[in-house]
């Protein structure tokens, strides 16, 4: 039976054009989804694909304005009995953030796959069509349901909560932490590592268009507490600290964050290291801080924004959400 897959395009390198097969520079988000699906139609994919253009941008410009169009579009597709799965084409720079946001706010009833490319469409060795063909195979697989939002890059399937971009150029630019890939995929095969893990098929958090202001503070040697002043305004509801080591920061910075936490600002300690696990420390209770656990700063920000938007501001409740991410 031919599966029907809805494809929502947002631009990125997968839809980029360089104008030369060997050029280094290119423009992201140049190919429309109709043209892309026409090209993909020549691959012999065993799926009926329909497309909708949500945006056509460099993913460095991704944010709430596009998310507010993308989220209801996917919800509509998931509610459609004629849709078996969803694919989102996306630039790689912020792919992990969009994927995690969708993972938190979508039901896990049907496969949802986010896919991108590291090379533009007219470059020698373009990886986008292979990644897209792999994404179609995953979106058509009934065992992909119940695993939350998935990311397909470089013949690997990653869980949205684990995936991270770790390289700037290579086609194998993505890794997973603390779990590596959860499956291996080619256009002709798909192998899963373990059974679906989502026992809660409903969305874990309600989507809100009005996401709060939550900046990320990148900690560095010799940092002064006045670095916080330009980041925190009247509308700021929380802050994620990309700390050194296991979420650490200079003592004067810590003292200023304690002061802000006692005034109601939610402070989450994450780490600027790549494979970061930040556990709670005894001082966190006294300071009023939250430990990001296995989430890096970018994803910690996504989770914190959604929690605050849903009215969850108590540090203990926020810590429980990070523990159960």
pLDDT tens for each residue of 36-88? 999 999 999 999 999 999 999 999 999 999 999 999 999 999 999 999 999 99
pLDDT tens digits for range 233-255: 999 999 999 999 999 999 999 99
Q: Output the pLDDT for position 268.
A: 98
Whether 292 contacts 315, CB under 8 Å: no
Q: How far apart are CA 105 and CA 88, in angstroms?
A: 15
What pTM was estimated for this model as a whole? Answer: 0.96
Sign for the pseudo-dihedral over CA of 290, 177, 107, 101: positive
Q: How far apart are CA 176 and CA 198, in angstroms?
A: 18
What are the angstrom distances between the C-alpha of 303 and each of 13, 75, 99, 159, 314? 26, 19, 12, 15, 14
Strands of the chain, DSSP E: 3-11, 47-57, 85-89, 112-115, 150-153, 156-159, 163-165, 174-176, 183-186, 189-192, 216-218, 238-243, 266-271, 289-291
The parts of the chain modelled with pLDDT lower than 70 are: none
Q: Indicate which residues carry an active-site annotation.
A: 13
Burial call 214-239: b when 16+ CB within 10 Å, e when fewer = bebbebeeebebeebeeebeeebbbb
């Amino acid at each position: 039976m031919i599966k029907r897959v809805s494809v929502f395009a947002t631009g990125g390198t997968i839809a980029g054009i360089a104008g030369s097969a060997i050029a280094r520079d290119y423009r992201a988000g140049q190919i429309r989804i109709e043209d892309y699906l026409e090209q993909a139609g020549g691959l012999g994919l065993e799926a009926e694909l329909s497309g909708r253009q949500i945006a056509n941008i460099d993913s460095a410009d991704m944010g709430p304005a596009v998310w507010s169009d993308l989220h209801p579009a996917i919800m509509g597709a998931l509610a459609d009995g004629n849709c078996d799965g969803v694919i989102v084409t996306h630039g790689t720079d912020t792919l992990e953030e969009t994927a995690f946001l969708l993972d938190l706010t979508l039901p896990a009833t049907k496969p949802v796959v986010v896919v991108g490319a590291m090379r533009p469409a007219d470059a020698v060795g373009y990886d986008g069509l292979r990644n897209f063909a792999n994404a179609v195979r995953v979106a058509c697989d009934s065992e992909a349901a119940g695993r939350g939002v998935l990311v397909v890059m470089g013949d690997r399937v990653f869980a949205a909560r684990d995936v991270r971009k770790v390289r700037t150029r290579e086609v194998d630019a993505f890794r997973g932490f603390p779990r590596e890939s959860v499956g291996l995929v080619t256009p002709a095969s798909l192998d899963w590592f373990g059974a679906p893990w989502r026992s809660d098929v409903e969305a874990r958090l309600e989507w809100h268009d009005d996401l709060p202001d939550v900046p990320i503070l990148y900690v560095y040697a010799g940092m002064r507490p006045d670095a916080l002043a330009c980041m925190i305004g009247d509308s700021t509801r929380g802050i994620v600290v990309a700390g050194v080591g296991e979420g650490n920061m200079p003592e004067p910075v810590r003292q200023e964050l304690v002061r802000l936490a006692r005034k109601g600002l939610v402070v989450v300690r994450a780490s600027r290291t790549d494979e970061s696990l930040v556990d709670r420390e005894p001082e966190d209770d006294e300071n009023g801080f939250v430990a990001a656990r296995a989430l890096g700063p970018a994803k910690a920000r996504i989770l914190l924004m959604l929690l605050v938007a849903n009215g969850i501001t108590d540090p203990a409740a926020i810590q429980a959400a990070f523990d159960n991410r």
